[in-house]
Amino acid sequence: MIVVMQPGATPEQIRDVEERIRQFGFDIHPIYGVERTVIAAVGAPELDRNEAKEQLESLPYVEQVTLVLKPYKFVSKKFREQTVVRVGGVEVGGTHFAVMAGPCTVENEEQLFKTAQAVQQAGAHILRGGAYKPSTSPYSFHGLGREGLELLARARELTGMPIITEVMDPRNVELVCQYADILQIGTRNMQNYDLLREVGQARKPVMLKRGMWATYEEWLQAAEYIWLGGNEQIILCERGIRTFETYTRNTLDINAVPAIKELSHLPIVVDPSHGTGRASLVPAATLAALAAGADGVIVEVHPTPARALKDGAQSLTLEAFRDLMRSLRPLAEVMGRQL
């Protein structure tokens, strides 16, 4: 922690700050410059002393406090080199490129099974589908709930594909765990800490979507919540952030892929469907994700997007998904990834 004093800070004020820093358990290294005094505080973990920065900055004679260490530990690249999450026969985070595909929302048996079989035949590894759906509008469809979970379980039996589905309410974590192979935390819930703690105690892998407003640092801190609950099977998912651009639903932050790879050992996948919001842009965004080093993608597919109950505009048809898988294959080979 580096504390920069205001110019003109008095010796008493400097002593006061030094004393406070010592009370937080740090050793102090003051540097008395010409224009101002800088105090380096070392020798104690910053992680458990988050209030230190805020408190020191509340003093009128302190200009600025900079933290030196990252605000997360266990999900950091410095803690571990690589995490591989294994689900069924699928690996996320190793040399595989994991393709999760399926409808935004489970609507009925026919829609789900038809999609499941088609995406499997096309080469997808994991089936996605929402039973509990967050909807901006209270008037929208909110999913079939438990019935949707049961349909997903039957689709898994039918195809052998593991399933990933969203959980929104901490009271449902236990129930969803009975059905799902991977629990998905949606973008709106990235900082729903009670939910993070609850899935931290689950014995199922968790895919944590980035909050559409969240920095990499905040995202990794959210992952640290899950880790501290005891669950180390975490997959990160970049799904686009909110910017001023309105042609696309979100701005897919492709930088996140290599950035997370240098900051963390956790696998990262990309959601090109929400990341673009337009089916016509999904193939290019998927190829880009693979080329940028992502460990997989999660793609919305619907047999008839023009009849979908949600996210029709960004869902691929079965044919478009097949074409996409075909164009992914040679790229995966070049990138050294098993598809």
Binding of a second copy at residue 337 (CB under 8 A)? no
DSSP 3-state assignment of 157?
helix
Contact 263, 269 (CB under 8 A): no
Using CB under 8 A, pick the residue from 103, 211, 267, 296 that binds a second copy: 211
* Radius of gyration in angstroms for the set of CA atoms belonging to the chain, rounded to a whole number: 23
Using CB under 8 A, pick the residue from 9, 155, 185, 289 that binds a second copy: 289
Shortest distance, position 243 Cβ to a second copy, whole Å = 5
Number of residues that bind a second copy (CB under 8 A): 112
- Neighbouring CB atoms inside 10 A of 132's CB total 23
- Neighbouring CB atoms inside 10 A of 320's CB total 17
Using CB under 8 A, pick the residue from 91, 181, 271, 311 that binds a second copy: 311
Shortest distance, position 16 Cβ to a second copy, whole Å = 9
DSSP 164-217: EEE---GGGHHHHHHH-SEEEE-GGGTT-HHHHHHHHTSSS-EEEEPPTT--HH
Binding of a second copy at residue 54 (CB under 8 A)? yes
Using CB under 8 A, pick the residue from 142, 156, 239, 337 that binds a second copy: 142
**Footprint of a second copy on 178-207 (CB under 8 A):** 188-189, 191-194
Q: Which is nearer to a second copy, 117 or 191 (CB)?
A: 191
**Paired sense of beta strands 90-92 and 85-87, if any:** antiparallel
Binding of a second copy at residue 230 (CB under 8 A)? no
Q: Which is nearer to a second copy, 156 or 310 (CB)?
A: 310
Using CB under 8 A, pick the residue from 315, 318, 325, 337 that binds a second copy: 315
Q: Which is nearer to a second copy, 49 or 154 (CB)?
A: 49
Binding of a second copy at residue 140 (CB under 8 A)? yes
Binding of a second copy at residue 313 (CB under 8 A)? yes
CA–CA separation, 41 and 243 (whole Å): 37
Binding of a second copy at residue 25 (CB under 8 A)? no
Q: Which residues contact 127 (CB under 8 A, 6 or more apart)?
A: 100, 101, 102, 116, 119, 120, 152, 155, 156, 159, 161, 162, 163, 164
Question: What are 38's strand-pairing partners?
Answer: 4, 31
Binding of a second copy at residue 42 (CB under 8 A)? yes
Q: Which two tokens stand for residue 9?
A: 């800070």
Q: Which is nearer to a second copy, 76 or 233 (CB)?
A: 76
Binding of a second copy at residue 19 (CB under 8 A)? no
